[in-house]
Structure 1
Amino acid sequence: MSDARAPLWRTSSYSKASGECVEVADNVGDVLIRDSEQREQGHITIPGHGWSMFLTTLKAPNS
């Protein structure tokens, strides 16, 4: 039986064909991040608002 709360992992569109990438998953307001080549090492959890601020900063033009 599948756990309905299991995170759905996705890779970056910038991922290499060999799979070298960081994966992310949404999980009840948080964002989970893991290394796609070392999934067994676990993940880190970032609050959703922190992830949003991180992405906004990356997309901001340089001043």
Structure 2
Amino acid sequence: MKNQQPQNWRKSTYSQAQTDCVEVADDAATALIRDSKAPNDGVIGMRREAFNAFKARIRGEMTADA
């Protein structure tokens, strides 16, 4: 995916003091993810539903079977 530049890139509140983290931006029905240390090196995009499932999984709200 080409490096899109929405204006609302943000870091997790859990990683505000960290330097090694990712940033996320909303782009309509898509979540965009990039490396905060290398923001021009590319963006990963995924559908909102997939991103929400990803977040639930890493928060421990979803099992591997779901």
TM-score class, shorter: 0.7 to 0.9
2:39 corresponds to which residue? 39
Partner of 2:15: 15
Q: CA 1:52–1:41 in structure 2 vs 1: closer, same or farther (change >3 Å)?
A: same
Q: Is the alpha carbon distance of 1:57 and 1:14 closer, same or farther for their aligned partners in structure 2, counting shifts above 3 Å?
A: same
The alignment's C-alpha RMSD in Å is 2.2
Shift of 1:18: 4.9
Is the 8 Å Cα contact of residues 31 and 46 (structure 1) preserved in structure 2? yes
Deviation by residue 1:7-47 (Cα, 9 ceiling, x = unmatched): 41000112153532110001011000000001110111010
Using the TM superposition, name which of 13-22 and 46-55 deviates more. Answer: 13-22
Q: Secondary structure at the match of 2:33?
A: strand
TM-score, structure 1 normalization? 0.74
Aligned-residue identity in percent: 34
Question: How many equivalent pairs are there?
Answer: 58
- The structure with the larger Rg is 1
Are 1:56 and 2:19 counterparts?
A: no
- Contact 2:25–2:31, Cα closer than 8 Å, also in 1: yes
